[in-house]
Structure 1
Amino acid sequence: MTTRKSVGTYLLERLRALGVRRIYGVPGDYNLEFLELIERTDGISFIGNCNELNAAYAADGDARLSGISAVLTTYGVGDLSALSAIAGAYAEGVPVIMISGVPPLHAITQRALLHHTLADGNYENVMNCYSQFTVAQTRLLPQDAATEIDRVLGAAWREKRPVYLQLPSDTCCVSVQVPATQDIACWYGSDPVQLQAAVADIMERLTHATRPVLLLDALVRRFDLRERVAELSRLLDIPFATLPTGKGALCETDPNYQGIYSGKASAPALYERVRTADCVIGFGVRFVDATSGYFSYAFDPAAFVNIQAFDTRCGGDVFMGVAAADLLDAIIAQVSERRATQQPPVSASPRPVVAPQPAVQDTPAWGQPAFWARIQTFLRQGDVVLADNGTSLVALTHMRLPARCHFVSQPIWAAIGYTLPALLGSLNACPDRRHLLFIGDGSFQMTAQELSSILRARHKPVIFVLNNRGYTIERMILGETAAYNDIANWDYAALPGVMGASDAAVCLRVNSMDELEAALKQAEDPQQLVFIELGFAPMDGPTGISAFGGVVRHYDYGAFDGR
């Protein structure tokens, strides 16, 4: 059964069917007709941003909480401005639908020399760029637009990564035949033979294991496996740890939670627990330099099971076409069946050593160690916590989150400034939760314009800007006093008054523990945006950051000490 609809209408209907409720972006002459259509369409809205990079970051932040989001740019200048953010979404596993309004088809066919191009008639170069950083790409043509929309959007939904669609300006309102049903192609189930073999292998390992452990990465949250993984840990009493890239995947108040695993950068007890485990079950584990203690992880490779979205590796064996959700359901069913029939259960692990809680310092001395200790007690259930790369991410990664918190960071792509526009997206996705952003001054300067969008929307986050007067994380690696690590010292607390209405924000400057306490009282239940500028010395950082800088320096430059 088919019906006729315009290409733009069909695209918007398919986006809404996937759960997209907001499209971020910047208007441009090639996407204006599509924007007009969005204005007339219920259930989906356009969120204007200060630039395309910020728009794509905001879409990323939205998708982290809502499941999927979209961004709209104009061809060439807009596409390439957003590309870094789309690459970040690919690296971190975030489904962002990237839509580009491109020149009309007649101009592309004739290789016309137009603005926003290189004026050489080449209309494939931008598509070639995006093919490196998305899982599917297309240019929507009238003859196959409906099929291509479903193919590309289906890839984003299945693989939880960004995709790229070019919508020619003269194609948006062209009427085409489209399917009458609203189903997006999805995963149709695991190969039964491969699934059975994978379950048998893992059950055999668990039956004989005396020291199993689970390692959780971003896969658990991206593919909505949290309840299943938590049930497996509970049924078998198996301790679990998360990689920094998977922080917050499960509740960090769970008695089986061991902390953050990052090789030798982990707590010593956790490092030994994983090193001596006789069965390590990973969920989408990827050992990246900065999140693995620079590849200092250690365990028996033969004991390692790594469950990916659609395949599983058990030691040297690979089981293809096995969905992680199906695999977990089958394992949980077998464990439950054994218990119901009173058969000996799969061997449970010894009671885990609970990761130590960060202690609140008694000293009132002002500095980042005291600040972060106080923030540990400031966090509460259900917070959305955003940590930008640098001292904020280092401190918050190893901080224990209260129940039902959502942690947003970008440790793999590691683009500084990501979290400020991502905050706009997370606020739009979950406006009823308290959102806390921790960002350094150097990161803030990268994307500061988007503060105006947050103020314009009358959102009420709490923003902590750590003012070290430069790139502290870089100073820890190299160039402690070098000019290249210096930046302009903005009057940060004055910016909300410039970018938004005078009553849209409470702006505070903090340079002591007493001032911090007063500021946190106002931020406890914010009635408007609370903007807190924190003054720290250039080399003031959280505990352990100096050692981290030394490891990075040695890895990047060898024996050279930079002096």
Structure 2
Amino acid sequence: MSRRMQIGAYLVRRLAEAGISHLFGVPGDFNLSFLEQVEADPSLTFVGNCNELNAAYAADGYARTSGLCGLLTTFGVGDLGAISGIAGAYAERVPFVHITGIPPLHAVEGRALLHHTLGDGGYGNIGRCMAEYTVAQSRLTPENAVEEIDRVLRTCWRERRPVHLQLPSDITHLSIDVPDEPFVFAEPQGDAEQAALAASHIATRLAAARSPVMILDSDADRFGVAGKIAALAERCAIPCLATAPAKAVLDETAPYYLGGYVGGASRPDIRELVSQSDCVIGVGLRFTEINTGFFTHDIRSDSFINLLAHEVNLAGRSIPAAPLGAVLEALLERVKPSSRTLPARPAASGTVLPGGAEERLTHDMFWPRVARFLKEGDVVIGEAGTSNTALLGTPFPKGTHYISQPIWGAIGYTLPALFGSQLGSPDRRHLLFIGDGSFQLTVQELSTILRHDQKPVIFLLNNRGYTIERLILGERSQYNDIANWRYADLPRVFDRDDRALSLVVETVSELEDALKQAEKADRAVFIEVRLPEMDAPEALKVFGMVVADYDYGPQGPRNGSVKKG
């Protein structure tokens, strides 16, 4: 059965049927005709952002806590403004649907020299750019819209990565025949025999293993298998570790969770556990420099099993058509409870917090107090550099969701991501930790957060410059300096209704008082935390030296090879 619908209205319908309720973006003349159709349909809400990059980051943050969403830009300038955010979502495996309004088909086909183009008559360049950072792309026409919309949506969900749809401005209100049947997602089941084969191999290895261990990467979260992993860990007494992208995917208070894995930079007990293990099970494990401590991991190849999104790798042998969820489900049917004893976790730190009341704040004093401030169910967002490094080593309460961008590592990502996440999950408390340098890149989105009357707690770590860069190179170089804004005044600048509590803290007692106020506040809280310029978590200081050695080599500028004059 079929009926007639306008192309833009059909796209809105399909997005809603796919579970998409919010569309982030910036209006432009080539997408206005579609926006009229969005406004006419209550199932989809357009959310305006300050610029396209922030909109892409907001879509990323929303997708991580609340499911699929959309991103809307206009051709050329809007698309390229958003492209870093789209690329980041691709790298971090975050799905959303990017829709761009492009010039009318007659202009595209006639190679008209229009604004927002290079003025050379070419219209394929943007699509070629987007093809590098999305898993499916299409330029919609009246002839292909029905098939292509469904194909691209299914690919977005199957791969958990962004997709790109070009919607010509002159076809949005054209009517075509569309199916009556609603759009339905189905998780790939692969080949049942292949999934069973993989599960049988893994069950046999686990039964014989003396010291198994699981190492989680972000796929454990993106493909929704954390519950199955926890059940497997409990039943088989398997200790679990998390790479940086998988922070807080598992309950960090559970007895099977031992901590973070960063290759040779891991705790000594974790390094030994992995290197001595006779059965290492990775869940989507990628051997990036962040996950492996700059490739210092020590995992026996003959003991390594990697459960990937759509296949399983068993000690170098690939079993295709064996999706992650299906394999874990089949594995749970086969394994028996184990009598193994889980390794003991290190004792928790003492109850006495460092630092006297009137002492100037340092990172050593700040982060233990942050740990006590966290609650079950919080969404914690850590900006690249100081904040993320410290939070990776901070124990989280049960039910915490953590958002960071360790692979792509774009500074400024987290402020718009906070907005997106809180829009999708307004009932959860959101806490953002962001440095002053990162904040200056996307600061405009603070106005959007306040305009929507969101109530996050934002910690602005002010150490007057790019501290992570100073630790790598150029401690006293002016290229690592930035303007020292009056950060705590900015909420009033961006919001005439004064919907935020702004505080400045520089001592331990001021921080503790600010945390008490934040606990009681029924509005946004913005806390500028003033820290010494070169103070940083110890892990970041080590990281800076390792990065410098890796990037510049033994003859690099840290070793005096740069000569002036």
Q: Please, what TM-score do these two structures have when normalized by structure 2? A: 0.96
1:352 and 2:343 matched:
yes
Partners of 1:249 and 1:198 in 2: how far apart?
Answer: 24
Partners of 1:133 and 1:24 in 2: how far apart?
Answer: 18
Partners of 1:88 and 1:99 in 2: how far apart?
Answer: 17
Give the corresponding residue for 1:469: 464
Contact 2:200 2:334 in 1 (8 A): no
Give the corresponding residue for 1:197: 197
Q: What amino acid is aligned across from residue 290 of structure 1 in structure 2?
A: I
Give the corresponding residue for 1:341: none
SS at match of 1:3: strand
SS at match of 1:516: helix
Give the corresponding residue for 2:318: 318
Q: Give the drift of 1:357.
A: 3.6
Alignment of 1:474-485 (within 5 A): 474-485=469-480
Q: Give the drift of 1:80.
A: 0.2
Partners of 2:209 and 2:130 in 1: how far apart?
Answer: 45
CA displacement 1:378-405 (0-9 Å, x = unmatched):
1110000000001000000111110001
Contact 2:50 2:448 in 1 (8 A): yes
Residue 431 (structure 2) aligned to one of 427, 432, 436: 436
Q: Give the drift of 1:353.
A: 2.5
Give the corresponding residue for 1:342: none
Give the corresponding residue for 1:306: 306
Contact 2:455 2:522 in 1 (8 A): yes
Partners of 1:355 and 1:145 in 2: how far apart?
Answer: 57
Report the CA distance shift for 1:33/1:358 in structure 2 as closer, same or farther (over 3 A).
Answer: farther
Partners of 1:61 and 1:525 in 2: how far apart?
Answer: 26
CA displacement 1:470-516 (0-9 Å, x = unmatched):
00000011110110000000110000000003420000000000000
Give the corresponding residue for 2:510: 515
Give the corresponding residue for 2:219: 219
Contact 1:505 1:531 in 2 (8 A): yes
The size of the alignment, in residue pairs, is 554
Give the corresponding residue for 1:403: 398
Give the corresponding residue for 2:81: 81
Q: What amino acid is aligned across from residue 15 of structure 1 in structure 2?
A: L
Give the corresponding residue for 2:454: 459
Q: What amino acid is aligned across from residue 216 of structure 1 in structure 2?
A: L
Q: Give the drift of 1:68.
A: 1.2
Partners of 1:409 and 1:140 in 2: how far apart?
Answer: 34
Contact 1:212 1:277 in 2 (8 A): yes
Partners of 2:306 and 2:6 in 1: how far apart?
Answer: 44
Point out the more displaced range, 83-92 or 258-267: 258-267
Give the corresponding residue for 2:379: 384
Residue 355 (structure 2) aligned to one of 350, 363, 377: 363
Q: What amino acid is aligned across from residue 127 of structure 1 in structure 2?
A: G
Alignment of 1:192-341 (within 5 A): 192-335=192-335, 338=336
Contact 1:442 1:471 in 2 (8 A): yes
SS at match of 1:544: helix
1:538 and 2:533 matched:
yes
Report the CA distance shift for 1:358/1:447 in structure 2 as closer, same or farther (over 3 A).
Answer: farther
Q: Give the drift of 1:313.
A: 0.2
CA RMSD of aligned residues (A): 1.2
Contact 1:492 1:533 in 2 (8 A): yes
Residue 495 (structure 2) aligned to one of 477, 497, 500: 500
Contact 1:34 1:172 in 2 (8 A): yes
Partners of 1:502 and 1:179 in 2: how far apart?
Answer: 47
1:526 and 2:518 matched:
no
Give the corresponding residue for 2:563: none
CA displacement 1:538-562 (0-9 Å, x = unmatched):
1011122211111111011111252
Q: Give the drift of 1:355.
A: 4.5
Q: Give the drift of 1:179.
A: 1.6
Q: Please, what TM-score do these two structures have when normalized by structure 1? A: 0.97
Report the CA distance shift for 1:357/1:103 in structure 2 as closer, same or farther (over 3 A).
Answer: farther
Partners of 1:456 and 1:90 in 2: how far apart?
Answer: 29
Contact 1:461 1:526 in 2 (8 A): no
SS at match of 1:170: coil
Q: What amino acid is aligned across from residue 195 of structure 1 in structure 2?
A: A
Contact 1:211 1:350 in 2 (8 A): no
Contact 1:357 1:400 in 2 (8 A): no
Contact 2:205 2:279 in 1 (8 A): yes
Contact 1:471 1:486 in 2 (8 A): yes
SS at match of 2:443: helix
Point out the more displaced range, 359-368 or 144-153: 359-368
Q: Which runs of 4+ in 1 moved over 4 A?
A: none
